[in-house]
Structure 1
Amino acid sequence: MSLKIAFIGVGNMASAIIGGLRASGYAGNAIVGSSINIDDHPRLEQRFGMTMHTDNKVAVAEADVIFLCVKPNLLQTVVEEFAPVVRPDQLFVSVAAGVEISSLEAWLKQPVAVVRSMPNTPALVGSGMSGLIANTHTTDAQKTWVSQAFDSFGSHVWIDDEAQMHTVTALSGSAPAYFFRILEVMIEAGIAQGLDEATSRKLATYAMKGAAAMVTELDEDIDQLRRNITSPNGTTQAALETLEDKGVHSLMTAAVDACAARSKELGKEFANK
Structure 2
Amino acid sequence: MSLKIAFVGVGNMASAIIGGLRASGYNGESIVGSSINIDDHEAIEQRFGITMYVDNKDAVAQADVVFLCVKPNMLQSVVEDFASVVRDDQLFVSVAAGIELGALAEWLVKPVAVVRSMPNTPALVGSGMSGLIANDKTTESQKEWVAQAFDSFGSHVWVNEEDQMHTVTALSGSAPAYFFRVLEVMIEAGKAQGLDDATCRKLATYAMKGAAEMVTQLDDDIAQLRRNITSPNGTTQAALETLEAQGIEPLFTAAIEACAKRSKELGEEFANK
Shorter-chain TM-score category? Answer: over 0.9
SS in 2 for 1:201: helix
> Residue 148 of structure 1 aligns with which residue?
148
Residue 144 of structure 1: how far off its partner (Å): 0.7
> Residue 189 of structure 1 aligns with which residue?
189
Residue 219 of structure 1: how far off its partner (Å): 1.0
Instruction: Measure, in 2, the Cα distance between the counterparts of 1:261 and 1:36.
Output: 33
> Residue 95 of structure 1 aligns with which residue?
95
Instruction: Measure, in 1, the Cα distance between the counterparts of 2:266 and 2:112.
Output: 24
1:76-155 to 2 correspondence within 5 Å? 76-155=76-155
The AA in structure 1 aligned to 2:119 is P
Any idea what the Cα deviations from partners look like across 1:151-181, whole Å, max 9, x if unmatched?
0000000110111000000000000000000
Task: State TM-score, norm by structure 1.
Answer: 0.99
SS in 2 for 1:162: coil
Any idea what the Cα deviations from partners look like across 1:224-273, whole Å, max 9, x if unmatched?
00000000000000000000000000000000000000000011011111
> Residue 259 of structure 2 aligns with which residue?
259
Any idea what the Cα deviations from partners look like across 1:28-83, whole Å, max 9, x if unmatched?
01000001111111110001000000000111001000000000000000000000
Identity of aligned residues (%): 80
Instruction: Measure, in 2, the Cα distance between the counterparts of 1:266 and 1:112.
Output: 25
Instruction: Measure, in 1, the Cα distance between the counterparts of 2:153 and 2:13.
Output: 10
1:56-67 to 2 correspondence within 5 Å? 56-67=56-67
The AA in structure 1 aligned to 2:16 is A
Residue 2 of structure 1: how far off its partner (Å): 1.3
SS in 2 for 1:122: helix
Q: Are 1:49 and 2:88 counterparts? A: no
> Residue 171 of structure 2 aligns with which residue?
171
4+ residue runs over 6 A deviation: none
Instruction: Measure, in 2, the Cα distance between the counterparts of 1:272 and 1:203.
Output: 47
> Residue 7 of structure 1 aligns with which residue?
7
Q: Are 1:16 and 2:16 counterparts? A: yes
The AA in structure 2 aligned to 1:23 is A
> Residue 245 of structure 2 aligns with which residue?
245
Give the count of matched residue pairs.
Answer: 273
The AA in structure 1 aligned to 2:264 is K
> Residue 157 of structure 2 aligns with which residue?
157
Any idea what the Cα deviations from partners look like across 1:74-100, whole Å, max 9, x if unmatched?
000000000010000000000000000
Instruction: Measure, in 2, the Cα distance between the counterparts of 1:93 and 1:182.
Output: 32
> Residue 31 of structure 1 aligns with which residue?
31
| Structure 2 segments unaligned to the other structure (5+ residues) | none
Residue 110 of structure 1: how far off its partner (Å): 1.4
Instruction: Measure, in 1, the Cα distance between the counterparts of 2:77 and 2:218.
Output: 46
Instruction: Measure, in 2, the Cα distance between the counterparts of 1:129 and 1:146.
Output: 13
| Structure 1 segments unaligned to the other structure (5+ residues) | none
The AA in structure 2 aligned to 1:167 is T
1:197-236 to 2 correspondence within 5 Å? 197-236=197-236
Instruction: Measure, in 2, the Cα distance between the counterparts of 1:24 and 1:110.
Output: 31
The AA in structure 1 aligned to 2:138 is T
SS in 2 for 1:232: coil
Task: State TM-score, norm by structure 2.
Answer: 0.99
Instruction: Measure, in 2, the Cα distance between the counterparts of 1:100 and 1:21.
Output: 25
SS in 1 for 2:155: strand
Any idea what the Cα deviations from partners look like across 1:190-214, whole Å, max 9, x if unmatched?
0011000000000000000000000
The AA in structure 2 aligned to 1:41 is H
Instruction: Measure, in 1, the Cα distance between the counterparts of 2:269 and 2:112.
Output: 23
The AA in structure 1 aligned to 2:257 is D
The AA in structure 1 aligned to 2:177 is A
Instruction: Measure, in 2, the Cα distance between the counterparts of 1:27 and 1:158.
Output: 27
SS in 2 for 1:99: coil
